[in-house]
A and B are shown apart, each in its own frame.
Chain A
Amino acid sequence: MPKVKNILTGAHFLNGDVACAEAALVAGCRFFAGYPITPATEIAETLSMRMPELGGIYIQMEDEIASLAAVIGASYSGLKAMTATSGPGFSLMQENIGLAVMTEAPCVIVDVMRAGPSTGQPTMPGQQDVMQAKWGSHGDYGIIALTPSSVQEMFDLTVEAFNLSETYRVPALLMADEIVGHMWEKVVIPPMDKVRIVNRKKPNVSPEEYKPFLPDDDLVPPMACFGEGYHFHATGLTHNESGYPRTSSSEDQTRLVNRLCEKIQKNADKIVRVEEVMLDDADVAVVAYGIVARAALSAIKKAREKGIKAGLLRLITLWPFPEEHVAKVAQHVRAIAVPEMNCGQLVREVERAARETPVTFLSKLGEEPHTPTEILDAIRRAA
């Protein structure tokens, strides 16, 4: 590691977890609360050392539930806050993800996915939490989830996650797999003035007029923080625009819950990102994400060499699901192949968006992602 500086602008050789930690600092995160869990522990360890160097706070809480609760608290006190965990911890955090959604607290949660269910295989990769990212907490809500395919993306998407969570006052999840989290690659950290940083909207009315959950036209309410003199109330109970509990009102429930969903859904075009490779004239498309997309990229190139017009739709945003992108691709290809390191999760969303176009699912569990040959075989069968 180079000698300690403020932001480590320059080119580095880092592992995914460390890149994520450095990205958080670049994004302005100054509060981390976490709990050790393989394979995300390095994020906590890196930040325990680096946070104080930048004047930020690191605390190891007693469990993941407390970690996310503390992150939400710090967010409400005005700091950009993050936690990092893996499957078992992610399950524990679900109730408080609901709290963050309901109280519209900007925060970033990194899930370095490992093999599940339950304790599973702590040091092995998986993509088994991707549905849980959207549906894990009870109730209806919208959420943002991003997934990196490289260590550079671990960096870039962490910064993006902070920006999105601040823009939409919603928890932003970074769903990395253990391979991307633990592999070492070149990362370029730009100078601070070249990084786009977004901060939460602040109120421009007096404390007497302020209503903490009255949205602007973009469906996002400006956010006051503790200690600024606004004397506001926030609760996990269904509430009105003033933040007060409204546990008997069907109108308030309808209005609030619909807005929490639409806040993300209606802004999906500004949130969703994908990468399209050789899709314009493709007959067969592979829809993949995370580490699997790297093998898929190799596979479609090999397929092209063999004369098959294959293309790749790499999902960068998992939620809101890029349905329009998938639907558009589905319209002009004969078949879609979806390789995932699980027993069939995001493929269901692809099937839904692809409608009539046949979708083949390739499952792979275990320590290795799909090989390019395995994906190539699927492309061949589909073509």
Chain B
Amino acid sequence: MVQEMAHPFSKYLRAEMMPHIWCTGCGNGVVLNCFAHALDELQLDLDKLVVVSGIGCIGRTAGYINADSFHTTHGRALAFATGVKLANPELEVMVISGDGDLFAIGGNHFIHAARRNIGIKVLCVNNLNYGMTGGQQGPTTPLGSITTTSPYGNIEHPFNLVHLAAASGATYVARWTTLHVRRLTQSIKRMLQKKGFCFIEVLSPCPEIYGRYNKMRSGLEMMGWFRKASVIDSFSDPSKAEITPERIAVGEFVDVEKLSYERMLHEKISKINEEAMEKVS
């Protein structure tokens, strides 16, 4: 056992910002690891990568990745990313954010970005609650869960995110858990090589808060739930892919080609600009 070598993915991480702030067993670290792994396998040009994140524990990811990054206001990552991508379509724009940021306050921006099919790649890390602020219920909190703002048990039906993303028009929709590290890495790679709006939901343990309130005190116990309940059901009906204690449908649900917004926009602009310039001369 040798101890002096640096981790092979150190070059994807900002040294001054590490170690990250995430708790023991937090899935955010696993997602960051998978993302770095995907970047490494693709040998993506880091100069062209922009990571945009929202507010939340996973929102800190933008600070950790060694690329141009921006940490926006709560829920607005997709709107901000829209401006970035349209202004410079050569950039690879990743939005890495959480379930509350993307689907509660950010819900409206999500469905419109997906509808427009803007070539933004979204990684939604779903830890089933609002972790950063101490564990409140969110739009993906399972029915009956105990959280700090649903102390008697959550009575709100949660979103089925893959269904929502597919219905909104995303061209790539996948769900994995932090247990499925290899498949998640491959999904991220697939996403980065596709055009159009892509979405991956990653179920992630929040052992210190969500897990503690809901009888899964350690990351291992939550991962144990993933292991027991996950079933790979690729290209099955997204509307039937709700997450229940007994069944977590994972896999790739949608993988289609559709004309992206920025391609249509820039083709139109070129054409109109050419015609306008001809009139000038």
Contact = CB atoms under 8 A, between A and B. Distances in A.
Query: In the complex, are there CB atoms of A and B closer than 8 Å?
Result: yes
Contacts, number: 155
B87 interface: yes
B76 A66 contact: yes
A78 B86 CA distance: 11
A-B interface, 6 closest residue pairs, ranked by CB to CB distance from nearest: A73-B83, A70-B83, A77-B87, A69-B79, A66-B79, A235-B71
A72 interface: yes
A33 B84 CA distance: 12
A56 B109 contact: no
Contacts of A5: 276, 279-280
A96 B76 contact: yes
Range of interface residues on B (Cβ < 8 Å): 35 or more
A52 B277 CA distance: 11
A59 interface: yes
A220 to B, nearest CB: 19
A140 interface: no
Contact of B88 (A51, A56, A81, A226): A226
Contact of B70 (A61, A67, A235, A245): A235
A5 B85 CA distance: 28
A65 interface: yes
A231 B39 CA distance: 15
Interface in B85-114: 85-88, 90-91, 108-109, 112
Interface in B197-216: none
24 contacts: A3-B279, A4-B276, A31-B87, A33-B82, A52-B272, A52-B273, A53-B272, A55-B269, A57-B86, A59-B82, A62-B108, A67-B79, A69-B72, A72-B80, A73-B80, A73-B84, A74-B84, A99-B76, A228-B47, A232-B68, A233-B62, A233-B70, A235-B62, A236-B72
A3 B275 CA distance: 12
Contact of A63 (B46, B108, B270): B108
Majority DSSP secondary structure for residues of B touching A: helix
A69 B73 contact: yes
A231 B50 CA distance: 9
Nearest to A230: B68
A228 B67 CA distance: 10
Contacts of A81: 83, 87
A242 interface: yes
B115 to A, nearest CB: 9
Residue picked from B68, B276, B277, most chain A C-beta under 10 Å: B68
Range of interface residues on A (Cβ < 8 Å): 35 or more
Interface string B42-75: 0000111010100000001011001111111100
A73 B14 contact: no
A234 interface: yes
Contact of B273 (A55, A69, A229): A55
B84 A77 contact: yes
B269 A73 contact: no
Contacts of A226: 50, 68, 84, 88, 91
B73 A96 contact: yes
Contacts of B85: 73
Interface string A69-95: 111111111110100000000000001
Contact of B82 (A3, A61, A95, A103): A61
B82 A77 contact: no
B62 A74 contact: no
A6 interface: yes
B83 A69 contact: yes
A244 to B, nearest CB: 6
